[in-house]
Amino acid sequence: MTVVVVGNPKPMSRTRAAAEMVARKLTGVAPQHVIDVVDLGPGLLGWGDPAVAAAKEIVKSADSLVVASPTFKATYTGLLKLFLDQFGQGELNGITTYPLMLGASQIHALAPELTLRPVLVEIGASCPAPALYLLDSEYETSADLDKWLGLARRFVPQVSS
Ligand SMILES: Cc1cc2nc3c(=O)[nH]c(=O)nc-3n(C[C@H](O)[C@H](O)[C@H](O)COP(=O)(O)O)c2cc1C
């Protein structure tokens, strides 16, 4: 099962579209679940909210996970951090995970590798491919994406149905 997590305060964003596209191109099928973190609302500000707990269970049942954020001030969003903070250290238990960030400028192209990947690893994700950065203006046609897919596809677990 492939799950997409999108941490953008704006629902139904380009970041979400890009993450769904990346998941589809990686695995050959549309993701079974897309969690637009903004839909979880104020429950993210405390602990034990039932909708947040349900979203966590979906994430933990993934074989492949795409975690996506727009770039805000050179890093991933605070909204995404609120969701990731709900996981304990190591809780993802080695789920194959692909960090993805969209940005307006190439200047922050290392942000997913340097900022998003470490927090995912802290909560137990296994991130075998380089983290992916796409320009918002060309995420659908990026040559970087094709190159990255060539690297990343080899790590997709063959257990999804
Ligand atoms: C508050 C804020 C901060 C941003 N900071 C950056 C930044 O540091 N670097 C960058 O490349 N783009 C930055 N951007 C642009 C967004 O990352 C970019 O447009 C992204 O694709 C937006 O995704 P969306 O279309 O899914 O909302 C910023 C946008 C906002 C609203």
Which atom of ligand 1 is nearest the CA belonging to 136? 21
Ligand 1 mean position to 44 CA, how many Å?
22
Ligand 1 mean position to 50 CA, how many Å?
30
Domain 2-155 has CATH 3.40.50.360: yes
Ligand 1 mean position to 47 CA, how many Å?
28
* DSSP letter, residue 113: I
Confidence (pLDDT) at 159? 76
CB 31 within 8 A of CB 6: no
Cα dist from 131 to 40, 43, 93, 111, 127, whole Å: 25, 29, 19, 9, 8
Confidence (pLDDT) at 158? 87
Nearest protein Cα to ligand 1, atom 22: 70
Mean pLDDT value across the chain? 97
Q: How far apart are CA 118 and CA 104, in angstroms?
A: 22
Confidence (pLDDT) at 75? 98
The phi-psi region of residue 124 (left if phi > 0; otherwise alpha if psi is between -120 and 50; otherwise beta) is left
pLDDT in tens, 124-144: 999 999 999 999 999 999 999
Which atom of ligand 1 is nearest the CA belonging to 105? 11
pLDDT in tens, 64-108: 999 999 999 999 999 999 999 999 999 999 999 999 999 999 999
Cα dist from 56 to 5, 32, 44, 154, whole Å: 10, 15, 11, 26
Give the phi and the psi of residue 97 in degrees, each rounded to 5.
-130, 140
Decide: pTM greater than 0.85. Answer: yes
Residues linked to residue 97 through DSSP beta bridges, in sequence order: 65
State percent of the chain over pLDDT 90: 97
pLDDT in tens, 11-37: 999 999 999 999 999 999 999 999 999
Residues linked to residue 33 through DSSP beta bridges, in sequence order: 3
> What are the extents of the domains in the chain?
2-155
Q: How far apart are CA 151 and CA 93, in angstroms?
A: 23
List, edge to edge, every strand of the sheet that includes 2-6: 33-36, 2-6, 64-70, 96-103, 132-135
